[in-house]
Structure 1
Amino acid sequence: MWSVSWKMMKRDGRMLVPAGIAILVGTLFIAATFLFANTMDVSIRKQVSSSFGQANYAISPKDDANDEASSATTVKDFHLQQIRALKGVNGARAQVYAPVELTSVSANKHTNSAGIAMSQPDSIMPMPVVEGHWPQGESEIAVPKQAAQRLNLKLGDEVSVNAGRGGQSGSDGSDSLRLKLVGLNEDKDGAYSYYGGASVMSEGAMAQLMGAPSASGIDSYPAPYIYLSIDDAQAGQETLDQIRAKLPKGFQLQTRAAFEDSQIKEMSGQTNIMTTFLLSFGILAMFVAALVIANTFQVMVARQRRTLALLRTIGAKKGQVRASVLMQSGILGLIASSLGAAGAIGLMMAAHGLGLRIGALTLEVMVTPPVIVVPIVFGTAMTMIASLSSAAAATRVTPLEALRPAEVSDSSKRSGKIRLALACIMMVIGAAMAAWIVYQAVQDSRGVKGTMVAENGDSALGIAVAGVALFFIGALLCANRWIPWMLKGIGALVAHIGPSSKVAVGNISRNPARVAATGTALLIGVTLVACLGTGATSAKQTMATALDTRYSVDVEISLNQEDVSGLEKVRKVKGVKAAELVPVYQGAVGSGKTAEDNAQKDYIAIFALKAGQSERLMNVSQESLMSGGSKLVMPKGQVGDKAVVKAGQTVSVVHYDDGTVTATGHSFQVAAGSYNGLGGDAGSYGIALVDQSASLGKPDRYEIWIKSDGSQPVGSFTEDIREAMSSTPDAMVSGGIAMKATYEQIINIFLLIMVALLAVAVIIALIGVANTLSLSVIERTKESATLRAIGMTKRQLKRSLSVEALLIAVGSTLAGLALGTIFGWIGAYIVFESLGKVSLPLDWNMYAMILVVAVIAALLASVLPARRATKTPPVEALAEA
């Protein structure tokens, strides 16, 4: 029987090609999803752990640690010298940095960067040196390559380094050093993009710069993170336990992977958001392929009826016939799935070899077991499952009945009631599962503790996807009920156009099972595309809003005094939409009426904005919240029970001079804003905004706030601003635009990948429609011949199939758009609710594009079946029928 089956398979090889293509494309989709997810995962992990260098462990605050206590912990508290002496510890680096100003002694030009201390081994430094070497003494420095170019510096030149303001040290920055430029570094992973890179000097030089004794090094600096290079083979569990025993309260030792997981989860609520999101649609794509496979085997079994019947007459049993069909499907699935996985790897290798990039993402080949195993196992299994109905159909008729010329019987009516009941149960359960998770997400967005979405976002998303899939499968099971009913209503509008249209509408009414099979192929494809498109649009709009609230000011320039000329230079930079001066005052928590009040330790920078400035300069306007001029609008994450200040507290404007705090008599009431920070850097937290409706006295300092029009690349835009301010001493350029652009780039890369994968669903749907129409041609051989015999022309017969395909395409597309939009909303809300208000869009342009593509695909799919229906002469067709 196996040899007979193999010969049958080779004979009908051309019939298996469409199914093979569907399987190949579907499994290629899944393999490519894993490969893209691997690349995206590496990219995001590299971003969140950009400060590690080649360190493999980190000491970081625990999730429940008190922020104020963590920020007060200094390098000395970590006992780094003792940790470095432990077995297997190759090096340790404290994340200590402070803003510094670099001045070219010869050219008298200025720029700023972060100042960090040199650590050994140099492999744990957060960026590589690209020219020269790292500092080897207290008189040497390595600066960012772009900063050196801006200052016209070359190796060996002297650089004047001044301490900046607002760094971790809290120093006034009165000291300055002259250091020899010995190296140029490049912050490729963006660890210090907020400051435009990092200047590296010895611990002693950095301590001296910030006013501390050189002998103490950086021991007195706050250090939220310590990065360790540990040889696990040498260290063992004993060394890790010894390190943990030396940690200050509230800190933990984590592997780099665990640190990355926690940071990604903090950002998105998920640790594998990209893989989960893409794979859910990859699985749906395989369901599309499964339907195509099922329809293809129905066509193949229809063609093999005589052969299978002959086998039955000469003694083949039902089980052997069934095994024959399953064997053919298993071989086809294994071959096509293997080619799909290999094709995905080959395409990725070709893209990597050609150096192709998507945005800033390099397409690297990262083959993990799921890339190969999942597509092959899933593709083979789905192919065999999809062929079960065809295998059953091959054994359902008697040998004599099968030998007699007849149309393919419609067996769906026999189990109609059971199938409908099962479909309804699946739809109810699936809808309940998805609704429960959505309810949990809503509760989580309202701050209710203990929700499943907050505690285990991955499991919650998995349940929601399972619920949606269960509902969708239920809808597909009863598609033979509602699709023909829907198409009958649409067909009533076109039935009177001509004989071809009337025949097409009649065909839809006569065989609802065949119509449902054809429509379902396109329905799944359109639903997939609409779901992806809706999810992508929602992701982009939601993330854009979240980024605007987190990085609400594009660029900040901190100044010691008002600089009108510098402001005019900045306004001339290409890409600047708006730039204005903002005075900065000092605020103290408390009334400020007594000496004790004035000695408050909790100080807040007050940015005094004039009416309309937040509208012009910020990505999220605070105008309505600042109305009245008596509100101190702080980042919403900095106001609350666990924060330094609470809503309604008083903050007084004070002046600080030589250790003496003087109240000005002005005070404001704290209110939570609708933004999370200015530039996203830790130094921007604790700031506040007020409406400058009254004179607050002389400002402590000034800032220039800049809003970009988005026309220029972020790198060149910030470089041009630094160049414009290079003649202004003590001008510190920073801002969240670089980090915002990094995250936007990740989002755009993700969307580009999804758009590229949308073509897969269209191709699979096209194959499905072509296969089911081919089946309908075989079923209607006698009918087509009769129509030809009574005078219907070839063109009219072709037109009737085209109209039938068009009606099915329009009806299935409209249903798919509705279902896909709802599914996309559900997925987007669950994934992104942790970021804030989730956008639930209705993308009419996308709907129009999908409808046009689906109609064109259906019409193209009807071409070959229509040619086949008209190829056989009427007399011959009637004789065969």
Structure 2
Amino acid sequence: MQLIALSTLNAYWRRYVAVGLAIMVGAAFLTATLLVQSVSQASFGNSLGENYRGADLVMQIDAEALERTPVSTDGNTALNETSIAFAKGTSLVSVAQPIGTSSAQLHITQPDPASSSGQRTVIDMASVNIAPSNPEFGSMKIIEGKAPQGAAQVAVPESQAARLKLSIGDTLTLDGLSAKVTGIAANSNDPTNSFGVQVWADLSLVKSLQKEDLRFEAIALKLAPGIQPSTAQGNLTSLAQHENLTFVTFKTPEAAVKDSIARFSGGTDVLTPVLLIFAGVALFVMTLVVSNTFAVIVAQRTRELGLLRTLGADRKQVRRMVRLEALALGLIASILGVAAGMAVMFGLVTWAKTLPGAAYTTFAANHQSIWIPVLVGTILTVLAAGSPARRATNVAPLEALRPQDMSTDSHDFAHGSNRGRPSLGLSKGTFAYGLVLFVVGTAALVVFSVFFPNLTIAFLSGIVSLSGVVVLAPVFIPRAVGALGGLTGRKSAPAQLAALNAVRQPRRTSATGTALIIGVALVTMFLTGGTVAKATLDGSVSSQYPVDFSLGTVDPTQTPLTEADAKKLTQIRGIEAAILMQTVGITDGSGNVLAASATDLAKVLNDPATIPPQGSVVVGKELVPGNTLDVLKTDGSSVTVPVVHAGADYLQPMMSTETARALGLTVPMKFTDPTAGDSGTIYARAAQGLDANSINQLRDDISAAVGIPPMYIGGAAMMRASIGGTIDMLLMIVSGLLAVSILIAVIGVSNTLSLSVIERSQENSLLRALGLTTRQLRSMIAREALLVSVTGAVLGVLLGVGYGLAGAQAAMGSFAPLVISLPWLMLGLVLVGAMIAGLLAAVVPIRRAVRLSPVAGMREAVA
């Protein structure tokens, strides 16, 4: 049987190409998923380990031991200069390099021709890293100038120097300490150094910044010549205990990197399990495609298998032969899939290395990413072929040998009729089971998304509901395809034939359609859920943060913002409006009352409910729970103003200048103490549809225009862009991952159609002999593919929209009222893509059908 199985694969290899491709795609996806963990670990190790470059050992505080042991006064719980002195004082260590970061406020004075003084001051927060004293140590690599030495020198990474327009010889100030830029360093690969402005400084400057609280994150140690790290670890630990350095530990750089990775990732690998879910979806669709294809292939070989039975082969031997074919196919295709997955991941890593800030990305493969996909792909292929093998051997040998047209084979497993009545397409018990799954799952999904929002339970309910859809697929998919064929198959003979052919084998139609429905439904679900969640969050952000940009001076020495500053903002591309908010009164504990004209407020406020009505003050409910607010006037008296609570819980009191004047308030308020004067607040509105990069650039432009540090510019724009950008990125990634399952489903459509064309060789040849043209034959096969693909896409979109809305409600229901915003364009693209995929799936079958002459086709069928 082994020989027959292998010879069958060799003789009819074209039949197995498409199913092998589906197995390859599934195995490649699983391989790439498993490689994500090893690549991320290697990449983080390459980046987080920069600080330990050149070290033999790393001296750290044992955080776990410190957490387990009550802190006492007789033990050191931090690394400091005493720790360095200890390490250098031993004969085991030749170099002890401290590693640490200090934060400081950065001031840079730059020329500004637009300013009356001819210059402007840029204020930002800086992370000051300790520069290694030895160039062989650490991650600082000077590419221009020289390394900083002493308390008056610094080095700046290349990207930061370009951003801040710094060059060698320029001066900057860190917490009031002046320092000259002496070097330009290569950009750091450490992801923990990706926030704020990075500066390299000598230990003496860092010590001045930290004053009495000088602490290090770690100390990199270079051992004395001839000292082995394994020996030094034990000896240094003993010496540290003797010196009462209770919580100090000594690790190899590799072990320290592993600890850093665990701290950076929170000690858990969240990405790989999520990716495995998508890989599981792709493998499930692959199993459907493989099972359906093997069912067709085995059905085509019914006479061959019947002949083997008459020659003495029993049912077990025939089943074993089919499983051996599946085993060989699954093994070969899975191995090729592993190779393809590794090639794709290697290409992605190579591409990632070219991106800014990702040069540390490293390709690494582990043995699990090789043998697991091969094993899973092979086992699933054998399991998928098991059911078709059992069904084929249930046919009696004499019946199998009886001449028949396979295209009209009555053994379309589990389909048929019952005394002239169409069957359900599956047993009554299976139908009842699927119906229960769908009804119970859908009911639970509605309950735990609408009435008791709970995303976890709703997700599990959705899985149960979708499982019911899969079980019931043989009931509704053939009927849906038939209905669509009835609507489109009335005008021409090819259309009528396509409508009939699409449902002649209901089981394979349902299996093919199910694979496509699952892929399209999941993609649609995430697109719908993400779009609705994004719209809901946008509405909530606009309510809680009613202005896109809010800025005011934070340094008492700075000049207050003025109307002229607001006009500067309106000159920035991307800013639609900017107004100066003036203080018109003082309240007791809820902040000064700000005001602007009603017309100007309408220009900058995103939430119409926040616009103050005439005669009232708008304020957050958490700040002023009551219905009135006492506002102190310039002369010391107060006026009671009706309160309108805004959607923003902590919105500062705000009214129109028209209301302020009507209440007798001075616009702006005159302060008797000059130091308590109005520092000025500007509200600005950004153009709609800007992405996160554009918003960040706007913030930098605003900072440059008025001299406010970017970190002190608040408002809804950054948050909305950040949330929207994150959701868009996740949707793009998830849609790309789920597109793999759609690709496998399309392969299934093409494969099923190809095998159907092979079955109908005699029939198609007879039709051509009776006058069916080549063009009409192409049209017939293309329409057949379109019927299945469009039906699967439409049903998938409908299911996906329903599941997506339910998921969004479950996730956002307890957070904010759901804002229904369907991605109509993307849904339309999904449907158009399904039509195009159906046409592409028909290309190979059409070529085979039209290249076969009528005479040859009839002769081939008879043979």
Q: Report the TM-score, using the length of structure 1 for normalisation.
A: 0.71
Shift of residue 353, structure 1, vs aligned partner:
2.5
1:112 to partner: Cα distance:
0.8
Aligned partner (choices 276, 279, 288) of residue 285 of structure 2? 288
> Higher Cα Rg: structure 1 or 2?
2
Alpha-carbon distance change, 488 to 671 in structure 1, aligned in 2, over 3 angstroms = same
The answer for the alignment partner of 2:437 in structure 1 is 429
1:523 corresponds to which residue?
Answer: 517
**Residue in 1 aligned with 2:652?**
688
Task: Classify the secondary structure of the residue corresponding to 1:688.
Answer: coil
SS at match of 1:842: coil
- 1:706-763 deviation digits (Å, cap 9, x = unpaired): 44433874565444444434xx6x8776435678766655544434434544653443
Secondary structure of the residue aligned to 2:107 is: strand
Q: Could you list the per-position Cα deviations for residues 70-117 of structure 1 after superposition, in whole angstroms to 9, with x for gaps in the alignment?
A: xxxxxxx98765996899999998986454433369985421111556
1:562 maps to: 561
Give the aligned partner of residue 268 of structure 1: none
Matched residue, 2:788: 808
1:500 partner amino acid:
P
Aligned to 1:411: 413
SS at match of 1:411: coil
Partner SS, residue 305 of structure 2: helix
3-state SS of paired residue (1:112) = strand
Structure 1 Cα separation of the partners of residues 753 and 794 of structure 2: 20
- Are 2:801 and 1:821 aligned? yes
> How many angstroms apart in 2 are the aligned matches of 1:697 and 1:280?
64
In structure 1, the partner of 2:862 is 880
Cα deviation 1:206-250 (Å, max 9, x = unaligned): 8989xxxx964589xxxxxx9667999889999999769xxxxxx
| Cα deviation, residue 310, structure 1 | 3.0
1:443-462 equivalence runs, <5 A: 460=456
C-alpha deviation, 1:611, in angstroms: 4.0
Mean CA deviation greater in 691-700 or 848-857: 691-700
Work out which of the residue numbers 92, 99, 102 in structure 1 matches 2:108: 102
> Which residue is equivalent to 1:854?
834
Q: Which amino acid aligns with 1:396?
A: N
Partner residue of 2:70?
none
Give the residue type in structure 2 aligned to 1:735: I
Q: What is aligned with 2:91?
A: none
**Equivalent in the alignment of 1:248:** none
User: Residue 295 of structure 2 aligns with which residue?
Assistant: 298
Change (3 A) 1:577 1:287: same
Amino acid at match of 1:411: F
Q: Would the aligned equivalents of 2:315 and 2:393 in 1 still touch at CA under 8 Å?
A: yes
**Aligned-partner Cα distance in 1 for 2:582–2:144:** 40
Q: Separation in 2 of the partners of 1:48 and 1:589?
A: 50
* Alpha-carbon distance in structure 2 between the residues aligned to 1:88 and 1:438: 64
Which letter does structure 2 place at the counterpart of 1:522? L
CA–CA distance in structure 1, aligned partners of residues 743 and 734 of structure 2: 15
Equivalent of 1:376 in 374, 377, 380: 374
Give % identity. 28
Counterpart of 2:393 in structure 1 is: 395
User: What amino acid does structure 2 have at the position aligned with 1:822?
Assistant: G
Structure 1 residue 8, shift from structure 2 partner: 1.5
**Of the candidates 724, 739, 752, which is equivalent to residue 705 of structure 2?**
724
CA distance in 1, matches of 2:101, 2:450: 38
Return the letter of the residue paired with 2:518: I
Equivalent in the alignment of 1:596: none
For residues 308-323 of structure 1, the aligned pairs below 5 Å read 308-323=305-320
Q: Say which SS state the counterpart of residue 316 (structure 1) adopts.
A: coil
Counting only pairs closer than 5 Å after superposition, residues 605-754 of structure 1 correspond to structure 2 as 611=598, 616-617=603-604, 623-624=610-611, 629-633=616-620, 639=622, 647-648=625-626, 665=638, 674=647, 688=652, 690-691=654-655, 693=657, 694=660, 695=666, 696-698=669-671, 699-709=677-687, 710=690, 713=694, 716-725=697-706, 734-735=712-713, 746-754=726-734
CA-to-aligned-CA distance 1:638-668 (integer Å, 9 cap, x gap): x5xxxxx68449998899xxxxxx9885789
Q: Which moved more, 1:853-862 or 1:562-571?
A: 562-571
1:814 Cα shift? Answer: 1.6
- Is the alpha carbon distance of 1:272 and 1:576 closer, same or farther for their aligned partners in structure 2, counting shifts above 3 Å? farther
Aligned to 1:571: 570
Pairwise CA RMSD of aligned residues?
Answer: 5.6
The 5 A counterparts of 1:186-585 are: 197=197, 216=212, 260=264, 275=272, 278-355=275-352, 365=363, 367=365, 371-372=369-370, 374-406=372-404, 407=406, 408=409, 409-413=411-415, 419-426=427-434, 428-429=436-437, 432-433=440-441, 436=444, 439-440=447-448, 460=456, 467-508=461-502, 510-538=504-532, 540-541=534-535, 553-554=548-549, 556=551, 558=553, 559-583=558-582
Separation of aligned partners in 1, 2:333 and 2:17: 10
SS in structure 1 at match of 2:490: coil
The Cα shift of 1:327 comes to: 1.8
- Counterpart of 2:748 in structure 1 is 768
| Contact 1:129–1:184 under 8 Å retained in 2 | yes
Gaps of 5+ in 2: 65-75, 89-95, 113-117, 222-229, 249-257, 417-422, 661-665, 672-676
Q: Shift in Å at residue 51 of structure 1?
A: 14
Instruction: Report deviation, 1:829.
Output: 4.9
The amino acid of 2:125's aligned partner reads: A
Answer yes or no: is the 8 Å Cα contact 2:48–2:260 preserved in 1. no
Q: Quote the residue 1:28 is aligned against.
A: 28
Alpha-carbon distance in 2 for matches of 1:442, 1:843: 21
- Helix, strand or coil for the counterpart of 1:110? strand
Contact 1:84 1:91 in 2 (8 A): no
Deviation (angstroms), 1:23: 1.3
- Secondary structure of the corresponding residue to residue 414 of structure 2: helix
In structure 2, C-alpha distance between the alignment counterparts of 1:691 and 1:126, rounded to whole Å: 54
2: CA distance, partners of 1:135 / 1:724? 32
In structure 1, C-alpha distance between the alignment counterparts of 2:33 and 2:616, rounded to whole Å: 53
Residue of structure 2 in register with 1:72 after alignment = none
User: Shift of the alpha carbon at 1:573?
Assistant: 3.2
Map of 1:172 onto structure 2: none
Indicate if the aligned counterparts of 1:522 and 1:812 stay in contact, CA closer than 8 A: yes
Give TM-score scaled by structure 2 length: 0.72
Structure 2 partner of 1:659: none
User: Cα distance, 1:349 vs. partner?
Assistant: 1.4
Please report how far the alpha carbon of residue 322 of structure 1 lies from its aligned counterpart in structure 2 after TM superposition: 1.0
- SS state at 1:102 partner: strand
Name the amino acid aligned to 1:478.
Answer: L
Distance 1:80 1:819, change over 3 A: same
Tell me, which stretches of 5 or more residues in structure 1 are unaligned?
Answer: 61-76, 164-175, 220-225, 245-253, 264-270, 446-450, 454-459, 591-602, 640-644, 656-661, 677-685
Q: Distance in 1 between matches of 2:307 and 2:15?
A: 20
Question: What's the secondary structure of 1:413's corresponding residue?
Answer: coil
Q: Label 1:275 to 1:667 Cα distance change in 2 as closer, same or farther (>3 A).
A: farther
Three-state SS of the structure 1 residue aligned to 2:619 is strand
Query: After alignment, is 466-475 or 182-191 more displaced?
Result: 182-191
Partners of 1:108 and 1:522 lie apart in 2 by: 63
Shift of 1:633: 2.5
CA distance in 1: counterparts of 2:781 and 2:163, whole angstroms: 69
Q: Structure 2 CA distance, aligned partners of 1:555 and 1:147?
A: 25
- SS of equivalent to 2:487: coil
Q: Distance in 2 between matches of 1:836 and 1:865?
A: 51
1:151-190 alpha-carbon deviations (Å, 9 max, x no partner) = 76543444456x6xxxxxxxxxxxx444434455768878
The DSSP-based 3-state class of the residue aligned with 1:492 is helix
Provide the C-alpha distance between the structure 2 equivalents of 1:629 and 1:41, rounded to a whole number of angstroms: 58
Structure 2 residue aligned with 1:155:
168
